[in-house]
Amino acid sequence: MTEQAPRTLSQKILEAKAGKTIEPGESVDVTPDVVLSTGDTADICRKLASLGIDNVYDPDLHVVVVDRCASAAFAIDTADHQRISSFVEDQGIEHFFDLYEGFCHQVLVEQGFVTPGRLIVGSDPRIVACGALGTLAVGIDHEAMATVMATGKIGLRAPETCRIEVVGRLPHHVTPMDLILKIIGDLGAEGVLHHAVEFGGPTLRHMTLSGRMTMCHMAAMMGTNNSYVVPDQNTLAYLNGRARGNFSLIYSDPEAEYSEVRTYDVSELEPYISQSERVDSAVLVSEVDGTKVRQIILGGCTNGQLADLQAAASVLENRKVASSTHLLVVPASHEVLRDAVSDGTLSILLDAGAFLLNPHCGLCLNQQVSALPPGEVVLSTAHSGPSGQGSCPQAGVYLGSTLTCAAAAVAGEICDVRTVVAVADPISTEAGWSTVGRRVRKHS
């Protein structure tokens, strides 16, 4: 009997679903553990109708999260929203989260659908953020979503895997967002196209859930449609009392083969920033120091968890947003918003002069964002933030960390947070593991 070659985590999850050995590049038909659709569910319903499909294969597989605004002008109009509501009722889909519950990937995590070893597919590319809990989460298009709804099966290709090993301790005022911007700048916009990305190493063991989700989410900007963090005891502690159903920890074999292994020592990492039109063009914040900023978006689909809002509050406490700048705060979910109210974080942000927006998608379509004249600059923590289109066709857009955004809000211009305030590193320790969907608890 031939001994099986060492496998990566992504291979093992697919093999467990397929019931056979799979090599990179091989395609298999599998049944996912969770199927996510969002505000695009109405379009998928129309696709099903055109195929003559009346019923979904298994309603219990599906989670529907409407995380885009419902208005006559943008995203989901009222007719589509009604179509989605009728669809989930007619199909008996119990896992339905309506407007303002939060961003799709955040809701999946909070509600316990995301656990190690599971295979999740979704019609929204932001699904990759769920890999932070050791899950294989893959974005698929509408046609594939209609197929999996109708048959319960999806054809997936086993990817090669790129390993990112992170060592050292993040310095004060440097965050996982700075790290992933640096990595994207090194690998390029298509550096891991059609590959999975595995994040591991001792640094990840001390990174919050928010930081891990940021790493996985932003990895999509390098071309991957699935990335993950190797699960550990923090993962298990977070899922205790939250996970839906049983699960098994799955790890890559020690001798697993990777398409590439890159090691990053973050001990002397500096804050980074990039332009969203070219997210792979990351530069040190110091290189664009002094750039005036008209509008700042804190939170949204990336960096919108309680740990992120707390980090911003640590900079903004007893300070004011510059009179020339607007600071928009977008919590990742209703749960995050409620926790930020409970622990006083929101009061600090509002007292500083921030504007609070409801937890839902729309920033990438310039919804709820003030129109800016040519030459103005938007700074955002969300990788799907305003892209210079719609209401801001000629505005410059930068992506930065929560701390960089908070510092810029005070200064009215891009600057290194260390020139504004000396604060303890609030989001590179383990303290953020209890802050999603629960009131924040300080670890002793």
From the list 353, 349, 299, the residue with the least C-alpha distance to 322 is: 353
Task: For 272-425, give the CATH class.
Answer: alpha beta
Residue type, 229: V
Centre a 10 Å sphere on the Cβ of residue 94 and count the other Cβ atoms it contains. 11
Residue spans in the chain of domains classed CATH 3.30.499.10: 27-264, 272-425
Query: For tokens 């590959």, what's the residue?
Result: 195
Cα separation, 394 vs 373, in Å, equals 7
- d(C-alpha 134, C-alpha 118), whole Å: 8
- Per CATH, which fold does 27-264 belong to? Aconitase; domain 3 (3.30.499)
Reduce the secondary structure of 265-308 to three states and give it as a string.
Answer: ECCCCCCEEEECCEEEEEEEHHHHCCCECCEEEEECCCCCCHHH
Q: Are 135 and 115 in contact (CB under 8 A)?
A: yes
Instruction: Return the axis-axis angle of helices 402-411 and 306-316, rounded to nearest 10°.
Output: 30
C-beta of residue 264 within 8 angstroms of C-beta of residue 235: no
Q: CA-CA distance, 289 to 417, in Å (whole number)?
A: 11
> Taking the chain, what is the end-to-end CA distance rounded to the nearest angstrom?
51
Please name which of 1, 24, 2 lies closest in space to residue 11, comparing C-alpha atoms: 24
Instruction: Give me the helix-helix angle, 334-342 and 345-352, nearest 10°.
Output: 90
Contacts of 169 (CB under 8 A, 6+ apart): 203, 206, 266, 267, 428
Residue 199 to residue 179: CA distance in whole angstroms: 12
Q: What string of pLDDT tens digits covers the 444 residues of the chain?
A: 346 789 999 999 999 999 999 999 999 999 999 999 988 888 888 888 888 888 999 999 999 999 875 444 445 567 888 889 999 999 999 999 988 899 999 999 999 999 999 999 999 888 999 999 999 999 999 889 999 999 999 999 999 999 999 999 999 889 999 999 999 999 998 899 989 999 999 999 889 999 999 999 999 999 998 999 999 999 999 999 999 999 989 999 999 999 999 999 999 999 999 987 677 889 999 999 999 999 999 998 899 999 999 999 999 999 999 999 999 999 999 999 999 999 999 999 999 999 999 887 766 555 445 566 677 889 999 875 444 444 455 568 899 999 999 999 999 999 999 989 864 444 433 445 444 333 333 322
